[in-house]
Amino acid sequence: MEIHCYAAMKEKARLKEFTYEPMPLAPFDIDIEITHCGVCHSDIHLIDNDWQLSEYPLVPGHEIVGTVTDVGVGVMAFEKGERVGVGWQSGACYHCDYCMRGDHNLCPDIKATCMGNYGGFADMIRTDSRFAFAIPEQIESENAAPLLCGGITVYNPLRSFDVEPHMKVGVIGIGGLGHLALQFARAFGCKVTAFSTSPDKEDEARNLGAHYFIPLTEKGALEKAAGTLNFIISTVHVDMDWPAVLNVLKPKGKLCLVGAVANPLVIPAFSLILQQKSVVGSPIGGRMAMREMFQLAARHGIKAQTEAVPMTDVNTAVDRTRQGKARYRMVLKN
Ligand SMILES: [Zn+2]
Ligand SMILES: [Zn+2]
């Protein structure tokens, strides 16, 4: 079997057609005929070798939706013809303390769908069924694909840092991650505040679930919001006035980073000590978290807002994502 895909042959290169033979079908593997694959900022970082971990040829793609076309002898969860999704993680050791607790996303032996493996900018993928997830019928494949990485990235912190319905939650950055975070925080029952440097996103942010909108372009905007929120998810990749952001938190509040800011955060110790605040981070989510996320999304009509293009236009989708022009996630369609 030959898999047809799109690969970067070197750092920052345009993607080109590429084919490969998959490894033999292992007992827990499934084959997925890919219908949709989201384009995530991490794909761009991999293509550009921003993390100095990329190996070429590199086939990006880790927001995969498609149909099961073959199953290994050990696969009990899926049958041929079922619609499934696969996100960033494609494997774990299954026996470390973290895996045993269900925190597979924290496994030291985490395997990634498109690092060390060829990913989902392709017509097929052969992958471990234990990291494939059934997609509720209420969610269209195009809107489901970005939930597999973008969605779980913002759902998991709400869940694992015990955000409760009475709380007030802020979302910094209304883009690929932020537009999903607003929807999930609203579904949790929270009062939701959107922070954005684009004042023109106010109406959209409110439609997505924000009760309040704070334009970061306004001088003193953070100061005015001081002491109002219990939990803030920051999705941005750029530097912020972090002490001012921490000042927006109530006592015991948490600032959770899911956007990978390049520069170290400079935070005065007293901004954490006096009101017992914390700065935390969160990577994707475990297998159960993924299942819960899809259930919540189906129940509350949460979906990614997408711009779909044919898989053959992969470089257009990559460019729009790299330039931050997608509203809000690009999805490739076969
Ligand atoms: Zn493990
Ligand atoms: Zn991703």
Smallest-distance ligand from the CA of 44? 2
Sign of the CA dihedral 140, 142, 143, 144?
positive
- At 131, is the pLDDT very low, low, confident or very high (cuts 50, 70, 90)? very high
Q: b/e string for 88-125 if b means 16 or more Cβ within 10 A?
A: bbbbbeeeeebbeeebbbbbeebbbbbbebbbbbbbbb
CA 231 / ligand 1 centre spacing (Å): 29
Residues 29 and 72 in one domain: yes
- Provide, rounded to the nearest whole percent, the portion of the chain with pLDDT above 90: 97
CA 283 / ligand 1 centre spacing (Å): 15
Residues 249 and 277 in one domain: yes
> What CATH number has the domain bearing residue 325?
3.90.180.10
Residues 301 and 193 in one domain: no
Q: Which amino acid, residue 62?
A: H
Smallest-distance ligand from the CA of 103? 1
CA 38 / ligand 2 centre spacing (Å): 9
CA 97 / ligand 1 centre spacing (Å): 7
Smallest-distance ligand from the CA of 86? 2
Residues 199 and 316 in one domain: no
Residues 117 and 176 in one domain: no
pLDDT digits (tens, 9 = 90+) for 89-117: 999 999 999 999 999 999 999 999 999 99
Indicate the residue among 255, 281, 307 that finishes a domain: 281
CA 62 / ligand 2 centre spacing (Å): 6
Query: How many domains would you assign to the chain?
Result: 2
Residues 246 and 307 in one domain: no
- In angstroms, the CA 229 to CA 271 distance is 15
CA 43 / ligand 2 centre spacing (Å): 7
Residues 238 and 297 in one domain: no
- At 7, is the pLDDT very low, low, confident or very high (cuts 50, 70, 90)? very high
Q: Which residues contact 121 (CB under 8 A, 6 or more apart)?
A: 5, 6, 7, 15, 37, 43, 59, 60, 61, 311, 314, 332
- Domain of residue 252 covers 152-281
β-sheet bridge partners, residue 126: 31
Residues 198 and 310 in one domain: no
pLDDT digits (tens, 9 = 90+) for 255-277: 999 998 889 999 999 999 999 99
CA 114 / ligand 2 centre spacing (Å): 10
CA 95 / ligand 1 centre spacing (Å): 5
Indicate the residue among 237, 264, 281 that finishes a domain: 281
> What CATH number has the domain bearing residue 214?
3.40.50.720
Q: Is the pLDDT of residue 310 over 90?
A: yes
Residues 42 and 113 in one domain: yes
Whether 173 and 234 have beta carbons less than 8 Å apart is answered as yes
Q: Is the pLDDT of residue 120 over 90?
A: yes
Residues 131 and 249 in one domain: no
The conformational region for residue 305 under phi > 0 = left, psi -120 to 50 = alpha, else beta, is beta
- In angstroms, the CA 105 to CA 9 distance is 29
Residues 175 and 215 in one domain: yes
Hunting for tokens 């970082």 — which residue is that? Answer: 45
- In angstroms, the CA 174 to CA 205 distance is 7
Stretch 314-328: mean pLDDT: 95
Residues 317 and 272 in one domain: no
- In angstroms, the CA 291 to CA 85 distance is 11
Q: Find out whether the peptide bond into 57 is cis, omega within 30 degrees of 0.
A: yes
CA 298 / ligand 1 centre spacing (Å): 29
- Provide, rounded to the nearest whole percent, the portion of the chain with pLDDT above 70: 100
CA 168 / ligand 1 centre spacing (Å): 34
β-sheet bridge partners, residue 316: none
- In angstroms, the CA 48 to CA 58 distance is 10
